[in-house]
Amino acid sequence: MQSKLNTEVNIRIAIFDDNEAIRNSLFQLLNYTPGLEVVAMFDNCVNATKKIDEYLPRVVLMDINMPDCSGIDAVKEIKSAFPTIDIIMFTVFEEENKIFEALQAGATGYLLKSTQPIKIIEAIQDIIAGGAPMTAAIARKVMQFFNNQIKQQHNKDVLTSREQDVLKSLIEGYSYKMIAAHLHISIETVRTYIKRIYDKMHVNSMTEAVAKAIKERWFN
C-alpha cells in the first residue's frame, strides 16, 4: 500500500460532531467515496490536538456547536499544532460572527449542514487542491467584509496631501521631530498640520487619530 502513487492514497478525514446521526451519514457519504477515507470521528473536541495526533487526518470536518468545547477553539489548537491540516467548518447556521471567528481561527472552508452531499465531497477535493470551499452566501459575507471597509473613505479626502503625509507618519509611530526631519519641514509646521488634522478628524490626541485612521483603514 505504501508504494502506491500519492494520487491513489486516500484523503484521511476526521469528523468532529456531537450528533451521531450526522457523524454516521457523513461516514457513509465520505467513506464510500473513492479517494476519501474517514479515519476518525469524535462527538466532542476536548483534547482535539491529541486526537488529531493519533489519527493524522489531512482534512478535518468540524462542527461549531459541541458540548463541553468550542469548535472554534479546537480549530485554533489544531492549526497551531498542525498548520498543514485543512479544516472545514460544518454547521447548521450561518452566524456572521461565527464565520469570521472560524476563518480567523484558521478554518479554510465553511459549509452549512444543509449542503448537498455531493457538494461536501467536492469541498473536500477542493480544499486538497488548494481551494477554500464555502457556500455562495458565506463567500458573499466574506466579500462584504472587504466592502465594508471602504464605506466612509471620504473622510480621508478632507485631509490635504501634506496632512495625509503627516497622519501616515503618525501611524508609523514617528514623533513630531522625526516627522519634521522626514518631511523636511519645521517641527512647527508639523504641529500646525497636526492641529488641523485633529480638527478635521474630531479627535484630540495622536492616539485617537492613529486608532481612527487605522481602524477605518484610511490608508493601506
Partner DNA sequence: TTTTTTGTCCCCCTTTTATGGTATTGTAAC
Partner DNA sequence: GTTACAATACCATAAAAGGGGGACAAAAAA
Task: Determine the Cα–Cα distance for residues 22 and 41; give it in Å rounded to an integer.
Answer: 11
Q: Tell me, residue by residue from 124 to 153, as one string, x for binding to a copy of itself by CB under 8 A and - for no binding.
A: --x--xxxxxxxxx-xx-xx--xx-xx---
Residues that bind DNA (CB under 7 A): 160-163, 175-177, 183, 185-189, 191-195, 198, 204-207
Is the sign of the CA dihedral 109, 113, 114, 116 positive or negative? positive
Q: Which does 24 bind (CB under 5 to 8 A by kind): DNA, a copy of itself, none?
A: none
Closest of 125, 93, 119, 120 to residue 26, by C-alpha = 120
Residue 55 Cβ vs a copy of itself, minimum distance, rounded to whole Å: 24
Which of 41/88 has CB closer to a copy of itself? 88
Q: Exactly one of 95, 175, 186, 195 binds a copy of itself (CB under 8 A); which one? A: 175
Specify whether the backbone of 131 is left (phi greater than 0), alpha (psi in -120 to 50) or beta: beta
Task: Determine the Cα–Cα distance for residues 69 and 140; give it in Å rounded to an integer.
Answer: 28
Beta strand pairing status for 65-66 and 86-91?
unpaired
Q: Which residues contribute to the site for a copy of itself (CB under 8 A)? A: 76, 100, 103-106, 108, 126, 129-137, 139-140, 142-143, 146-147, 149-150, 170-173, 175, 203, 205-208, 210-212, 214-215
